[in-house]
Structure 1
Amino acid sequence: MASRPAPEAASLDSTADADLSAFREEVRSFLRERLPADLAYRPRMMMSLREDIVRWQRILAERGWGAPSWARDHGGAGWTTQQCLIFEEECVAAGTPTQDIVGQKLLGPVINQFGSAEQRAEHIAPILNGDRIWCQGFSEPEAGSDLASIRTRAERDGNVYIVNGHKALVSHAHQADWIFLLVRTHGDGHRHDGISLLLADLRSPGITVRPVPSLAGFHHLNEVILDNVRVPAGNRIGEENAGWAIARVLLDGEHAATADLPALRAYIWQLKELGGSEKVGGRLLIEQHAFAVRLARLEAELEAVAMMVARVAALEQAQDHGRAARALGSMLKLRSTDLQQRLTEFLVEALGDYGAVRGAFDNAGEDPFAPLPYFAKNIASEMFFRRGATIYGGSSEIQRVIIAKTLFNL
């Protein structure tokens, strides 16, 4: 399999910053030397398979790169926003597995900021070393983007909580070890009150994980049933009934993660590859005006999203969770997920008749995509997967409400 060329460095090196150029080369050199050939360009949809995540995480942790965006005193690499973006860009170009996105970008920073010393000692090292994979238990059958409507209850019984409820559409719960949950610990007062954040071992008695089929054609969604699950009170992050404020901080991080800038850059690269190799009517796609103009416009939108990602990431590193920062995160979620859908739809169209075939993740039987670039076989699945992008992490409608409330007091 031919390796992908590295992305154009101009996107982040346009300032001719010698330090950033040297850092990019350091990352490329590391990837050439340490990324096992059998781990490169393996199937991934948002997150890689568990065994790939764990293996790659241990390689990164050995180098001290286990958590690129975390501060050094939290065990991270302490990189700047620009360095983190360069690292992610080069990892996509090299075809690395993902890291544990939930542990790295959502829960880890929350534990570092709000967790007790005991919680940090219990959970941070396993996240860094790839020994504990996480999933997020927020949405419920009647509380999707409206998380304040959750009904999963946690009743205090001495030193434990008895948890009962139903979490829906939990991504990658089938390959996770632990789950963090929004639960209702008090029923009176404002609906945002009485919510707590708990950490639970998925091996606990009373937890059942069931797969949820999706149009993407691969297993990534699950429902998690909690039936009288005993969760130690020491697994609560922050004060009881004060989980909503922590959840808002966590969701700000989720918006940046959901933007998935490296994937957006990969889609543009794939479109350029198809444009330079596929023909219609005897002419390359890239030589046709409609294709070239559409590609140029989408690439310009990508660069605008990249600027927003950098701004949001900088605010997160500064732990700025004010109204303007929250609105910017919602704007990023809106623009990036819409772009994910339009780019993957364009990719399917660029494949022509092959776009109607949803490729399998294995190589069993005859491969109809043999004449095409290696990435073509998963494009239709990717498009179906991205149909959910404007729903997961908070629907587009909810993001517009957040923007209206935070910026315009509507």
Structure 2
Amino acid sequence: MDLYLDDKEIAFRDEVRAFLRQELTPQMKRAERLNPSFLADPQDGLQWQRILAERGWVAPSWPAEHGGPGWTLTQRYIFDQECENAGEPHFRSAGVKMIAPVLMRYGTAEQQQRYLPSILSGDDIWAQGYSEPGSGSDLASLTTKASLDVNHYVVDGSKIWSTHAHRANRMFALVRTSDTGKKQEGITFLLIDLTAPGVNVRPILSIDGTHEFNQTFFDGVKVAVADRVGAEGEGWEIAKYLLEFERGGSFAGGSLRAHYSKLMKIAKTCGPDGRCAMEDPLFVARLAEIGADIDTNDMLELSAMSKVQAGGNPGAVSSSVMKILRSRVHQAIGELGASILGPDALRWEDQRPLHHLPEESEVDELRKVAAPAYINSRSQSIFGGSNEIQLEIIARNLLR
């Protein structure tokens, strides 16, 4: 792969930068700056998504026939880097990045026509229904059941850690339709209407103070057979395909560099107690190590891009390696940022979202969000499949 941009790619980069300067408001950038979570608050994220939708830029990875811009992989990479660097609300996730690729590969024409446009517009917000209270990393042990009744399934059970389910109107979920044979063989992939009778969403408040997770209960919820993706019992294969996109099928370099830039701004400014982090050689050494790890992630992403350009997908091993590295780097940035605060890290602001508070200087606001962001980053090594499970996936593929 040629690591240098050609003239057309440079022109595209400049077009993206001009768009971001014009459309990304100071209020949106402040909301993202004060966001401790890995996803923007839906209210802010949807506002930005609709602006992108008007330009046709909501889904950089989608082909033109499904409503995407039809960009090359390099254009997608440039767009991601520039958006993160500009401070966009980080929101495109479950709908755009996860269920959409599944529908494009496994969905019927009717499912694609029904759901893909509403994902682009933001009219449908999707939550993921994978983990259960007793089935997290061992996902195949899930027990939420779906019984076939003529032309619909009846779903009973619950899902946990359902990100933004309290703001979502739809969920893609794995359910058990058979208890015979291998446990993976009895799993089916359903699209569930969260406004249907029998659905109950209960909040789970995160330790950093945000409400992003939920437990979702299903009590006799009816799901039409037409909302089954793939064949009955094919859910496990579909789930593995989707997880490649969740764990490593998108770019994270821009996001990591954006967080690293925020860390640098705090580090270069002396705190109220007069301490200056950049005067500590041990701090500077750790900062350099993290920077090198971000460069490593970039090289892994470029390698994965080469594989996709050749007609493949990210692959299980590549996806797991990137997922582990990204989570560790994200956590390292959060940990170092909180360490700068010293005793001030114990100060706590209950208001959520934080950008509803009176405006302060950029550095003061970055210091305000540093401790909650550090706490939130601990979840990075758990969601999307714990890092321990990723290591097991790598071992099974490389050491057999």
CA distance in 2, matches of 1:318, 1:161: 40
Distance of aligned partners of 1:366 and 1:35 in 2 relative to their CA distance in 1, 3 Å threshold: closer
CA distance in 1, matches of 2:29, 2:357: 22
Distance of aligned partners of 1:28 and 1:122 in 2 relative to their CA distance in 1, 3 Å threshold: same
Is the CA contact (8 Å cut-off) linking 1:215 and 1:385 kept in structure 2? yes
Residue deviations 1:15-60 (CA, integer Å, cap 9, x gap): 2533332222111100111223432221432222222222211211
The alignment partner of 1:221 has SS state of strand
Distance of aligned partners of 1:121 and 1:258 in 2 relative to their CA distance in 1, 3 Å threshold: closer
Is the CA contact (8 Å cut-off) linking 1:13 and 1:20 kept in structure 2? no
The amino acid across from 1:357 in the alignment is R
Deviation at 1:331, TM superposition (A): 0.8
1:254 and 2:243 aligned: no
Question: 1:333 is matched with which residue: 309, 315, 323?
Answer: 323
Aligned to 2:151: 159
1:350 and 2:340 aligned: yes
Aligned to 1:85: 77
1:17 and 2:6 aligned: yes
Residue deviations 1:150-182 (CA, integer Å, cap 9, x gap): 001110001100000110111111111100000
> What is the root-mean-square deviation in Å for CA atoms of aligned residues?
2.4
Question: 1:309 is matched with which residue: 301, 304, 313?
Answer: 301
1:385 and 2:340 aligned: no
1:58 and 2:50 aligned: yes
The amino acid across from 2:396 in the alignment is K
Deviation at 1:253, TM superposition (A): 0.2
CA distance in 2, matches of 1:365, 1:98: 20
The amino acid across from 2:70 in the alignment is G
TM-score of the two chains, using structure 1 as the length reference: 0.90
Question: 1:35 is matched with which residue: 24, 32, 54?
Answer: 24
Distance of aligned partners of 1:283 and 1:185 in 2 relative to their CA distance in 1, 3 Å threshold: closer
Aligned to 2:165: 173
Aligned to 2:184: 192
Worse overlay, 242-251 or 85-94? 85-94
Distance of aligned partners of 1:351 and 1:202 in 2 relative to their CA distance in 1, 3 Å threshold: same
CA distance in 1, matches of 2:248, 2:384: 10
CA distance in 2, matches of 1:67, 1:75: 8
The alignment of Structure 1 onto Structure 2 pairs a total of residues equal to 395
Aligned to 1:121: 113
Is the CA contact (8 Å cut-off) linking 1:161 and 1:233 kept in structure 2? yes
Aligned to 1:201: 193
1:147 and 2:135 aligned: no
CA distance in 1, matches of 2:305, 2:170: 26
Worse overlay, 14-23 or 269-278? 14-23
Aligned to 1:398: 389
1:74 and 2:66 aligned: yes
Deviation at 1:281, TM superposition (A): 8.9
1:95 and 2:87 aligned: yes
Deviation at 1:394, TM superposition (A): 0.3
Is the CA contact (8 Å cut-off) linking 1:166 and 1:224 kept in structure 2? yes
Is the CA contact (8 Å cut-off) linking 1:348 and 1:356 kept in structure 2? no
The amino acid across from 1:41 in the alignment is R
The amino acid across from 1:134 in the alignment is W
Question: 1:234 is matched with which residue: 209, 226, 232?
Answer: 226
CA distance in 1, matches of 2:204, 2:271: 39
Distance of aligned partners of 1:133 and 1:282 in 2 relative to their CA distance in 1, 3 Å threshold: closer
Residue deviations 1:231-283 (CA, integer Å, cap 9, x gap): 00000111110111111010000002687433311221122212222269967
TM-score of the two chains, using structure 2 as the length reference: 0.92
Is the CA contact (8 Å cut-off) linking 1:137 and 1:181 kept in structure 2? yes
The amino acid across from 1:335 in the alignment is L
Is the CA contact (8 Å cut-off) linking 1:41 and 1:96 kept in structure 2? no
The alignment partner of 1:144 has SS state of coil
Is the CA contact (8 Å cut-off) linking 1:259 and 1:336 kept in structure 2? no
The amino acid across from 1:398 in the alignment is I
Is the CA contact (8 Å cut-off) linking 1:195 and 1:241 kept in structure 2? yes
CA distance in 2, matches of 1:85, 1:114: 25
Provide structure 1 residue ranges, at least 5 long, that are not aligned to the other structure.
1-11
CA distance in 1, matches of 2:328, 2:108: 38
